Chain A
Amino acid sequence: MNSVGTSVHTAPSNAFSRIDSDILRTMGRPGYAYCAAVAIAALGLGFGAYAFSVQWRFGIGVAGYEHPVLWAIYITNFVFWVGIAHSGTLISAVLFLFRAKWRTAVARASEATTVFAVLTASLFPIIHIGRPWFFYWLFPYPNERQLWVNFRSPLIWDVFALSTYLTVSIMFLFLGLIPDIAAARDRCADWRKPIYRALALGWDGSHRRWWHYSSLYAFFAALATPLVVSVHSIVSWDFAVSILPGWHSTIFAPYFVAGAIFSGLAMVITLLIPLRKFLQLEDYITIDHLENLAKLIIVTSLIVGYSYITEFFIAWYSGNPFEQQTFYNRLFGDYWLFTWSMLICNTIIPLLFFSKYLRTNLVALFTISIFVNIGMWLERFVIITTSLSHDFDPANWSGLYQPTWVEVAITIGSFSMFFLLFLLFIKNFPVVSITEMKEALVTSNGEHQELRITSESLHSSAASSTGDSI
């Protein structure tokens, strides 16, 4: 162990401390704009909670479900938010394993997105069911009645997938935060200090800690990576294992995973552009980073577009009248506006990123990312409602499903909840990984050799920050 660090360069400690202060500064006293944003989000969340209380009290009939469209906006939101969660894991875990260094600047925000999106998503199964007070029956807990869950049901797979994903993504986020929390702990002078102290788990920056930290981080990255594929595959099986035309499809797993990453990347861009501006992190989250995300969006958009083509082609090629009718109805039926909007938002607009100008232009990036968000929400909505509204028996077919204020309020509430959590996070935790920025600093200074971390350098960085207060 003593042989380590001989050939190690030392980064300029003033740069390290600048990283410290730049990033930890974001956790300082909030401004009016921030407070207003938090208030609006809290209000939206309250509105959603009120709507849910109405639904709880009177029954889920206050929502706009129209037989046979028995799943609608709540499941759309569920799949949407699970999808949003995926980019976080992709960026922080998969790109970490692939040593894509540019991820550093955006990884923390993405991980936070993941956790909050999964939290938001996991509320929807509860909001969606008819008797939400019995949601715990979906867990295989031991009980005196010896009742067990049905492991053949994809909804049970969902429970496991989602709870696993939530656990792993929280741990992954928290693990990455530990050195940064320690830095915050060292500088913090207000009421949050004891919290940071507790959360830092006694981090002292010793070599042993770093050694454990980096191996554990790599281990978690490896653990989280299959989840990127598995969680949304399982969510897609909610649909794919049913026998409903429009849902019953073997391509759903890869199609949904690609779509999830696609929407997640868009959401990260949507969040980062205002974030880097308001927190003055332009030096850390650069246009290059956003451009890389945009490139990934092109890839995933093409995969999603290909999936659409496959779906429609197979529906036609199969000769199955049920499939054909479902997809014909999707394009030209009551829901045509939603379908065409979805197609344009998801397969045409993102291709604008082929233009270098557009993918480096903040306004274009932001605008297109919003379109992708809308498009991907619509994709889930269209898949769910169009397939349900026109299935096997024409005597059941319904017209256009129209949501009520309750569903709209709960959807607004879910977005509010997500943004509220994100806002609270960025004010209380380093939104860019200090640790990794310092590593990245080294490489960006022109050191092309493999970066090797010394306990001294990093310890000194952590220690050097003690002087400043947040």
Chain B
Amino acid sequence: MSKLPFSNGLTETVGRRTFLRVIGSAAPAAAISACSPLPPEKIISYVIPPEDIVPGVATWYASVCGECPNGCGTLVKTREGRAIKIEGNPSHPINRGSLCIRGQAALQGLYGPDRFKNPLSRRTTNGNTRQSGFESVSWEDAEQTIVDRVTSLSSSGQGDRIAVVTPLLTGTLDTLVDEWTVAVGGARRLQYETFAYEAMRKANHLVFDRESLPIYDFSQADVIVSFGADFLETWLSTVSHARDYADAKRIRNGRNARHVHLESRLSLTASNADEWIDLKPGTEGLVAAAMVNTIITEGRVQVNGISQAELEQIHSLVAEQTAELVATETGVSAEYIVSLSRAFSDPAIGPGRTLAAGGGVSVNGTNATETQVAIALLNFVAGNIGATIKFMPETMWNSIATYRDVLELTNAMREGKIDVLILHDVNPMFTLPSNAGFAEALDMVSLVVATSSHPDETTARADLVLPTHTPLESWGDHKPASGLHGLMQPAMRPLHDTRHFGDVLLNTGRAIIATTETDDPDLQENTPFHRAGDFFDRLRDEWRTRYQVEISDSTNTASPNSDNTGQSELDFEAFWTKSLREGGVWETIEPDSTTLSETLKAPVLQSLAPSVDTSRTLTLVTYPSLHFFDGRGANRPWLQEIPDPLLKTTWSSWVEMTPDTAANVGAEEGQLVTLTSDHGNIDATVLINPHLRDGVAAIPIGQGHTHFGRYASGRGVNPIQLLNAEPESASGGMCWTGTRIDVTPLELRRPVPRLQRTFDQQERELAQAISVETLAAGDVHHEEPHLSLNPEHEHPNHRWGMAIDLNACNGCNACVAACYAENNIPVTGAEQMLRGRTMSWLRIERFVESSSRESDARGVDTRFLPMLCQHCDHAPCETVCPTFATYHTDEGLNAQVYNRCVGTRYCANNCPYKVRRFNWFDPSFPEPLNLQLNPDVTARSAGTMEKCTFCVQRIHAGKDQARDEDRNTKDGDITPACAQTCPAQAIVFGDLNDPTSRVSQLTDDDRRYRVLSELNTRPAVTYLKKVVK
């Protein structure tokens, strides 16, 4: 200390030298501190490092995705205690290592900058105008508010004046909610999902006596007929379907599955089909019924041991629907229906080798249940039940409330029968039609409690907001179907002062129990509210029971001393740890045998034809958005930024019309129009989409939020406001489709940012296809590399390469989101998108080869071309960079040195693939989104060029791992983020120097080609042609 200039105080004897020394050392310090507005940071190393955290080394936690009810298994990558990436759990039987775009974006739910940070309570700020605002309260006060209100009701025997609405829950939390409703004296409970598949459940009930949803196995189907089922987008377990579908489309023995899609709009799923039939909206059931009729009359029923009585029973239902009769109503010719029926029941391929899927939303009109009954019958007569369509003993879908149940609760609220309403993670203010009256009904409830991690339209109307953990911070379990027990564990500590919903229930439940002592001895003994422990302990209790089941299942193999409790507890710990590590427990459960319902009778198909109100001009089709699902994804900036797979629009919503329809209503692209239905009106921007039926207007669901955070609010329109609040009579579901609307053009334009303006590849053969016959005949041609004056690069160790199978790629954008997450790609926003300034390293180009209408199919051949840096051997970008900021590595990578880039942008001009992205501004990651950044990847600054690196950080990690294990890298060690998540397994990465690697073999495939090979850039990415019929 004594050597410091200040040691003895300046005042005593400050000599000239001392003074200069002090000034000399202090001035730079003063200058530095004056320049820096940041407070000094305290850097404290771990005194006792947490067990799981090794700086610089990723820790992975197996968990369950919480973005939709399907329950895909995840592995969450954490670095220094922060979740930075989510990948699919390879051992999970549903998603088998893949995740969809929404699952990839779950991180932005965790790090959402608009999340609630503490409990909020509504306080009236102005009594006269009823203005009110939220103020922060403590958790104790917030929970006490609930306890007080609930206690006063339950102690007076008015427990039914309490209602709890949750999304679809399974497992421990579901049980706990039920126990809570019992403990407070019989509160009502609903599990509310926007897309509840009521009609499918009802139809299965009518046809098979099973009010549930089966599992659809696309991999075993040779003919897939989808009646508007967007099974690659939002319809049931999409990641699982995508993998199976890619399997079905793979060429085996010179043939692959045929996919026919009947829907009035070309959805992403339809654009993968071999034939797209743009039938009249709502007439899908007629086609299905006519197919059933044809199959029966032609004697092609593929069901073993079906009785004549059953056959006649079915036939009597569809006897009226002959192919000729329905042809005029549906717009599909009789010949086509007959030929499709024959293909669907082809004895040559055998029974149970086809699959008909009925859409969840797009066929949900007023005749939804009838339509689904016809589709169920079609599957039955083709022998698919139990083969490609499996009913499991239990599925989670049974417990979901129908839309009608929600309406009933709304009515009860309006009538003042509900005093306390707890809304957990649901957003009915957005997902219910406005004339369902939910907003008015909420006003009648004296205490509305919203438990959610983020603000939305519903929390904005709540009296009390309890912030809950996101799934990534939560313990939990999820049972999507029989035999599947996913275990959800938190990947990191909660970011904010939030609590688990289960803990909120336990805390309040205990307090309520304590004040209202019940005489019922059962309750005293058995409820979790009488025991200590938090939700985590509760979860372990449940799993201890689950473990006992496992033990008893294998009784005889267990040791005779297993009744030793200490040993058992040790065994349980091992079981628990194993389940945590693997993400759950999977058992193979045989599907139930399913037979026709004995009560199946004529009236079920009475109103199969849609009723059309001719007083309005267009039929409205709403469809769930691949990115936003029912709207819950709209506050994730990646999902807003990544362009729609079909229309390549971003940050927006719109109304689609064909050119003819638009001309008829007097609107043009980009023009704002007012859409009016009997139930509401909205203003939307017109987008011309030729791939729609004339007379139909289509709007995606998911945008049009008002209180959903900075990224979603005020963006686009919510088409649910146009829909009829009246449920479909048979099933009680929402009528998503078939509402008739009028269109009034406005003198306003609001451009929708689109990242691809033409879908015509101008015969440039960028996305190539080959027919099955040509491929089988071996009539394949490959362009050899041209000669070059330049010496070849040498790749002594590795030559990284990629193969992308265009026949597997279905355009689902999951890889794009994975790339954003892995590589710290910034989001630029709507305004920048109007100038095409996306930063995405990987884009899915969509090209449409339209041919003349053959038979009934529209002749639309959609090709998805994932385009990323091709890592060319003769890269045009490398020669033109003046500073060597881009160069060729000896492993075949086209490297980009951000630090050396001055930003001339010549490389991007000279790149024929245009995959280089320029940082027009410094990227912004509003806190705490910055916590998601991958520390292994440089965050780039303004003025530099960037592009796909083949995930060079993963290559290094793979090589490091191999070196640590004293071996060479082997095929499969290294997988880039895009290939890792691809649900269709379309992307394969590996070492081209290794002739046995999968990528080397695919690079020699008969379908191989390289994009723009005539330029002789010699890309490291090989594409495999799409196979067309």
A219: Cβ under 8 A from any B Cβ: no
Query: Which residues from chain A contact B917 at a C-beta distance below 8 Å?
Result: 67
- Contact of B766 with A by CB under 8 A: yes
Asked if A149 meets B943 with Cβ closer than 8 Å, knowing A67-B836, A130-B903, A395-B867, the reply is no
- Of chain B, the residue at the smallest CB distance from A241 is B880
* Cβ of B882 under 8 Å from chain A: yes
On whether A153 and B903 interact (CB within 8 A), knowing A325-B762, A392-B912, the answer reads: no
- The residues of B that contact A70 with a CB separation of less than 8 Å are 905, 908-909, 918
A68 and B764 contact, CB distance less than 8 A? no
* Stretch in contact with the other chain, from B402-410, B752-760, B792-800: B752-760
Interface size on B, residues (CB 8 A): 53
B757 touches A150 (CB 8 A): no
A5 contact set on B, CB distance < 8 A: none
Q: For window 892-910 of chain B, which residues contact chain A by CB distance below 8 Å?
A: 900-906, 908-910
Q: Would you call B969 an interface residue if the criterion is a C-beta within 8 Å of the partner chain's C-beta atoms?
A: no
Contact of A393 among B766, B879, B902 (CB under 8 A): B766
Q: Report whether B883 and A399 are in contact in the complex, using a CB–CB cutoff of 8 Å.
A: no
State how many angstroms separate the Cβ of B473 from the closest Cβ of chain A: 35
Check if A28 is an interface residue, CB within 8 A of chain B: no
Tell me, in angstroms, the Cα distance from A148 to B757 when the chains sit together. 40
Give a binary string over A124-156; 1 marks a CB under 8 Å from any B CB, 0 the rest: 010011111011011000000001111011111
Flag if A138 contacts B882 (CB, 8 Å).
Answer: yes
Contact of A149 among B832, B884, B901, B1012 (CB under 8 A): B884
Task: Please indicate the chain B residues that have their CB under 8 angstroms from the CB of A68 in the complex.
Answer: 836, 908-909, 914
Contact A67-B835, Cβ < 8 Å, known A130-B901, A130-B944:
yes
Q: Write the A376-404 contact mask toward B (1 if CB under 8 angstroms, else 0).
A: 00000000000010011111111100000
Check if B902 sits within 8 Å of A130, measured CB to CB. yes
A148 to B908 Cα, complex, angstroms: 21
Is residue A60 within 8 Å, beta carbon to beta carbon, of the partner chain?
A: yes
**Residue among B760, B902, B943 with most chain A CB within 10 A:** B902
Given contacts A58-B921, A70-B908, A243-B912, contact A129 B835 (CB under 8 A): no
Bound-state CA distance A230–B667 (Å) is 55
Which of B756, B942, B1012 contacts A60, CB < 8 Å?
B942
Task: Type the 1/0 row for B807-849, where 1 means its CB is closer than 8 Å to any CB of A.
Answer: 0000000000000000000000000100111100001011100
Q: Does B922 contact A (CB under 8 A)?
A: yes
* Inter-chain contact B867/A129, CB cutoff 8 Å: no
Given the complex, which residues of B lie within 8 Å of A134, measured CB to CB?
902
Contact of B762 among A61, A138, A155, A394 (CB under 8 A): A394
Question: B944–A150 contact, CB under 8 A?
Answer: no
What is the 8 Å Cβ interface bit string for chain A, positions 50-77, against chain B (1 contact, 0 not)?
Answer: 0000000011110011111011000000
B908 CB to nearest A CB, Å: 5
B760 surroundings in chain A (CB, below 8 A): 394
- The minimal Cβ–Cβ distance linking B840 to chain A, given in whole angstroms, is 11
Q: For the complex, what is the distance from the CA of A65 to the CA of B757, rounded to whole Å?
A: 17
Q: B54 contacts the other chain (Cβ, under 8 Å)?
A: no
Q: Which of B756, B846, B909 has the most CB of A within 10 A?
A: B909
Given A59-B919, A150-B884, A153-B879; A131-B943 close (CB under 8 Å): yes
The verdict on B913 contacting chain A, using a C-beta distance below 8 Å, is yes
Tell me if A398 and B943 are in contact (CB < 8 A): no
A321 interface residue per 8 A CB criterion:
yes
CB within 8 A of A153: which of B758, B837, B880, B901?
Answer: B880
CB contacts (< 8 Å) of B905 on chain A: these are: 70-71, 129-130
* Contact present for A398 and B836 (CB under 8 Å): yes
Q: Is B937 an interface residue (CB 8 A)?
A: no
**Bound-state Cα–Cα, A160 to B427, Å:** 64
Contact between B902 and A131, CB atoms less than 8 A apart:
yes
Given contacts A321-B762, A393-B914, contact A59 B942 (CB under 8 A): yes
| CB atoms of B943 and A129 under 8 A apart | yes
Given contacts A70-B908, A130-B944, contact A395 B847 (CB under 8 A): yes
Measured between C-beta atoms, what is the minimum distance from B271 to chain A in Å? 15
Nearest-Cβ distance from residue A141 to partner chain B, whole angstroms: 12
Find chain B residues with CB under 8 A from A238 CB: 906
CB proximity of B294 to chain A, nearest CB, Å? 42
Smallest CB separation, A446 vs chain B (Å)? 56
**Interchain CB contact (< 8 A) of B913 among A130, A321, A325, A393:** A393
Smallest Cβ-Cβ distance to B899: which chain A residue: A134
| A241-B880 Cα distance, complex, nearest whole Å | 9
Which of chain A's residues have a CB closer than 8 A to the CB of B576? none
Does A310 make an interface contact (CB < 8 A)?
no
Alpha-carbon separation in the docked complex, A150 to B901 (Å): 12
Are the C-beta atoms of A131 and B906 separated by less than 8 Å? no
**What are the 8 A-B residue pairs with the smallest beta carbon separation, nearest first?**
A130-B903, A130-B943, A61-B920, A59-B942, A67-B836, A131-B943, A395-B845, A155-B882
Ordered by A's residue number, 26 sampled pairs between the chains whose C-beta atoms are within 8 Å are A58-B921, A59-B919, A59-B942, A66-B835, A67-B835, A68-B836, A129-B904, A129-B905, A130-B902, A134-B902, A153-B882, A159-B882, A242-B910, A243-B876, A321-B762, A391-B912, A392-B1012, A392-B1015, A393-B845, A393-B913, A394-B758, A394-B766, A395-B756, A395-B761, A395-B766, A399-B757
